[in-house]
Amino acid sequence: MSRSLIVKFPQPGISYKISVGRGLLSSVGDTIVSVSPNLPRKAALVSNRRVFGLYGKIVTASLKAVGIDVFPVLIPDGEKAKSFRVLQTVLNSFSENKMSRTDAVVALGGGVVGDLAGVAASLHLRGVPYYQVPTTLLAMIDSSVGGKTGINSPYGKNLIGSFYQPKAVIADTTTLMTLPKREIVAGFMEAVKQAALSGLPMVERTAKISEHYRKFGREMFGENAIRDRTTDLILENIRFKTSIVRSDERESVAETGSQSRKILNFGHTYGHALEKATQYRNLKHGEAVGWGLLFAATLSKKLEFLSSDELNLLNDVVRGFGRLPDISNIPTNSILDSVLYDKKVIDGEIQWILLNGIGKPVIVSGRHVPRKILVQTHKQITTSP
Ligand code: NAD
Ligand code: GLY
């Protein structure tokens, strides 16, 4: 079974198809042909060794079948690949292969591949078409959709990048069956984030999916009885995300309401700070977001926005997917100092994304949140069982 939706942006000419389902890797070539006014002669297939080893052949075959030549561009695995050095290697490879503006970049992999390939596509010849073929849960429900591309700098996470929408997103859910357990939990953390922002029904559906996950592990993506429900949850996440991105594609500084794209950073201020404080080594991005959700929900309760019942529910859903890696040995100050490098700092003040009830995001200036409360919040989440 596969399903698709079309995201139409208010700006004329920006719309793309997102397809989710089983067996879609073999249709990547057909999809590109169906949306390209000029048939690409060649495609840069950006991936890493691990994912290319698993799925490179089938995607290459599907591109060749429609007459597109393929040159693989393999980047190192992991967050460290989102660097200037790797970006330059990728751009050089595009130039060496004489990629023109009617050719295509295909990002086959998780969020790291997608973010890096996206920046490279936005820069080469000032922009060449690119296609997202996400192979992690996180990339399917979040990073492949919405056009944020980025690399890290020594000063912080995703500080360099562009808004650049893909021409199509093709998510083959069978790829999730080879995903390591930690990556699945990491992906579900972004699903919990979106559910908390959306409202109680989505939180409850996500909690139900966590029960399936505890029972079946990654087999849930192949298990007949529940795989359609998982696909439904992926689509629900994509719909939620695109509804926000459509209303505030560029995360406008002035937009501060509940439709601001900034709200998608719920849990990310603390999460990114954790990643930076640990030099991007110890935690998966989604695991850091998991801790960030616990932090933001607890902070929301401390500021009397969220009730105890709502906090407990969110804690249960986060922890229901499994244990997050221990962070108790990371110095509190190194995390809280890293918070200041967050992209959402405006006029020297961090903008906290909090919840004024489940499904009711609010943006609160750091000036209203004393450091003492942040320290207490950090202590509370790291000492709770
Ligand atoms: P990732 O890209 O590092 O992939 C996780 C691991 O899984 C890697 O080792 C990868 O090689 C492996 N892998 C990928 N697909 C596989 C498969 N099907 N089978 C087996 N192994 C597979 O991590 P991620 O969690 O997908 O993405 C995290 C990145 O996404 C972060 O850099 C984060 O900043 C970014 N992100 C971007 C956005 C956005 O809007 N652009 C949103 C959320 C996160
Ligand atoms: N993942 C945050 C955003 O896309 O805005």
CATH domain 186-383 topology: Dehydroquinate synthase-like, alpha domain (1.20.1090)
Q: Where are the alpha helices (DSSP H) in the chain?
A: 28-35, 49-65, 84-96, 111-123, 137-138, 181-198, 200-216, 224-247, 268-277, 285-302, 308-320, 332-338, 371-383
pLDDT surpasses 80 at 347: no
CA atoms of 96 and 133, how far apart (whole Å):
24
What pLDDT, in 10s, does the model give residues 301-328?
A: 999 999 999 999 999 999 999 999 999 9
pLDDT value for 12: 77
Torsion of CA 24, 30, 32, 36, to 10 degrees: -150
pTM of the model: 0.96
Q: What residue segments make up the domains of the chain, in order of their start?
A: 2-178, 186-383
Is residue 75 within 8 A of residue 46, CB to CB? The reply is yes
Q: In the predicted model, what is the mean pLDDT of the chain? A: 94
The tokens of 91 are what? Answer: 């751009």
pLDDT value for 256: 86
Question: For the chain, what is the radius of gyration of the CA atoms?
Answer: 20
Among protein residues, the one whose CA lies closest to atom 39 of ligand 1: 143
What pLDDT, in 10s, does the model give residues 170-196?
A: 999 999 999 999 999 999 999 999 999
Q: How confident is the model at residue 346 (pLDDT cuts 50, 70, 90)?
A: confident
Give the ligand at the shortest distance from the Cα of 54: 1
Coil vs helix vs strand at 163:
strand
Coil vs helix vs strand at 311:
helix
CA atoms of 285 and 36, how far apart (whole Å):
33
- DSSP label at residue 349: B
> What is the distance in A from the centroid of ligand 2 to the CA of 173?
21
pLDDT value for 255: 87
pLDDT surpasses 90 at 129: yes
The tokens of 329 are what? Answer: 């040995």
Any residues with CB less than 8 A from the CB of 252 and at least 6 apart, and which? 260, 261
Q: Is the CB of 284 under 6 A from ligand 2?
A: no
Q: Among 7, 112, 136, 143, which is best to mutate for testing ligand 2, by the most ligand atoms less than 8 A from CB?
A: 143
pLDDT value for 7: 85
pLDDT surpasses 80 at 136: yes
pLDDT value for 4: 83
Say if strands 104-109 and 130-134 run parallel, antiparallel, or are unpaired.
parallel
Q: Which atom of ligand 2 is nearest to the CA of 265?
A: 2
pLDDT value for 137: 97
pLDDT value for 40: 96
Task: Output the ligand 1 site: residues, CB below 6 A.
Answer: 48, 50-51, 54, 77-79, 82, 109-113, 115, 135-136, 138-139, 142-143, 146, 148, 158, 175, 178-179, 183, 186, 284-286
State the average pLDDT over residues 261-286: 94
CA 47 to chain centre: 16
**CA angle centred on 12, ends 8 and 15, rounded to 5°:** 30
Q: Is the CB of 292 under 6 A from ligand 2?
A: no
> What is the distance in A from the centroid of ligand 1 to the CA of 212?
22
CA 184 to chain centre: 13
Is residue 105 within 8 A of residue 117, CB to CB? The reply is yes
Is residue 185 within 8 A of residue 290, CB to CB? The reply is yes
User: Length of the chain in residues, anyone?
Assistant: 385
| Cross-strand bridge partners of residue 3 | 20
pLDDT surpasses 90 at 91: yes
CA atoms of 307 and 107, how far apart (whole Å):
42
pLDDT surpasses 80 at 335: yes
CATH domain 2-178 topology: Rossmann fold (3.40.50)
Is residue 116 within 8 A of residue 164, CB to CB? The reply is no
Report residue 72: phi and psi, to 5°: -75, 140
Is residue 113 within 8 A of residue 143, CB to CB? The reply is no
CA atoms of 326 and 6, how far apart (whole Å):
40
Is residue 308 within 8 A of residue 301, CB to CB? The reply is yes
State the average pLDDT over residues 113-119: 98
State the average pLDDT over residues 377-385: 90
pLDDT surpasses 90 at 345: no
What is the b/e burial string over 124-160, where b = at least 16 CB atoms within 10 angstroms of the residue's CB?
beeebbbbbbbbbbbbbbbbbbbbbbbbbeeebbbeb
pLDDT surpasses 90 at 349: no
What pLDDT, in 10s, does the model give residues 32-67?
A: 999 999 999 999 999 999 999 999 999 999 999 999
Which residue, 110, 317, 78, 305, is CA-closest to 194?
Answer: 317
Q: Which residue has the tokens 């295509």?
A: 104
Half-sphere CA count of 235, side-chain side, radius 13 A:
18
Q: Which residue has the tokens 């959700």?
A: 293
pLDDT value for 320: 95
Give the ligand at the shortest distance from the Cα of 194: 2
Q: Is the CB of 285 under 6 A from ligand 2?
A: no
CA atoms of 8 and 212, how far apart (whole Å):
33
Count H helices and E strands in the chain, helices first.
13, 11
